[in-house]
Amino acid sequence: MQAAARHANGKTVIALFMRSAGAPPELEPVPCCRFPEAAARALAHATQYGAWRNTPAGQTISFADVDRPHARGIIDTAMMRGGGWLTPGEAQALLDAFHIPVAAAETVTTEDQAVAAANRIGYPVAVKAIGPGLLHKSDVGGVRLALANERDVRDACRDLVAHLGDRMTNVFVQRMASSGVELFVGITQDPTFGPLLLCGPGGTFVELFGPPALRLLPLTDTEAETMLQEMPGRALLDGYRGTPAADRAALRELLLRLSQLAETCPEIQEMDVNPVRAFEKGLSALDVRIRVGSTPRPSSRRVSY
């Protein structure tokens, strides 16, 4: 066995000894297994690792149209009041600063203001309740969709007030998006590796298909494409039962812009953009939640070989 390992010409060698005594000590450092299943799994992992090592690393992309001063102003303002969740208007403005398409919306206080906002935005619209404890608006009945006229908007506002009472402090009026593929993208902070980018099916499917694809940041162009290939439910992007395929180029750009956002604003501890509606051409973010705070970064987030 030692002679075979020495003449393997760079090939990976694993020994197999199906006996209670295990492998003879003179075989070290040749790895040895007692069962063929373990040896097969080890070789499979080695093959996958080798394929990963041979994958081109790609390049990080920096978009010149980003309004960094405006983005930093939003984050600095939030940090001066102690951090926490950004308001829906602040979250939308932050995405706007990075030229990430967001459905047109306005934050208002009264029923009349909601009607005026809907007239400016254009029907149909959605009306969403805003309040300190209303992060998951759908779970508490804080969303009214497909409002086609002024009467619908007034009825929706009154219904939300009757349902939520003092829990609702403002109203978010947003243009309804056309049909498309719904995705979830987000940023989270890992205590060891720092910021991670996540991508998977969104809307009602966010918890149905299993864990999302994730990558360390900053993201490269190659990794952005790989994330879309690895995400659960990826067949939805290619068109399903006659639906048009999603704009993969726009989705890749979205991931790369979010990577630059995380680098520019390291105070972001948590970001959920769900859903992102991907169309045959382009996309639109329909709901975004962003929490900021003091987040110490690990000394190293990438391993060099």
Structural domain boundaries of the chain?
A: 2-53, 56-103+177-305, 104-176
Residue 75 has, within 13 A of its CA and on its CB side, a CA count of 23
Q: Say if CB 174 and CB 89 are below 8 A apart.
A: no
> Would you write out the chain's pLDDT as a tens digit for each of its 305 residues?
555 555 556 677 788 877 666 667 666 677 788 888 988 999 899 888 888 888 888 899 999 999 999 999 999 999 999 999 998 889 999 999 999 999 999 999 999 999 999 999 999 999 999 888 777 777 788 889 899 999 999 999 999 999 998 889 999 999 988 788 889 999 999 888 889 999 998 866 666 677 889 999 999 999 999 999 999 888 888 887 777 889 999 999 999 999 999 999 999 999 999 889 999 999 999 989 999 998 666 544 555 54
Residue 178 has, within 13 A of its CA and on its CB side, a CA count of 9
Which of 304, 300, 236, 230 is CA-nearest to residue 48? Answer: 230
CA distance 204 to 217: 27
Q: Vertex 257, ends 101 and 274: CA angle to 5°?
A: 55
CATH superfamily of 56-103+177-305: ATP-grasp fold, B domain (3.30.470.20)
Written as one letter, the residue type at 41 is R
- Residue 113 vs residues 109, 172, 173, 189: alpha-carbon distances, Å: 7, 10, 10, 37
Burial track 228-254 (b if 16+ CB lie within 10 A, e otherwise): beebbbbebbeeeeeeeebbeebbbbb
What is the topology classification, in CATH, of domain 104-176?
Answer: Dna Ligase; domain 1 (3.30.1490)
pLDDT of residue 305: 46
Which of 279, 261, 282 is CA-nearest to residue 271? Answer: 261
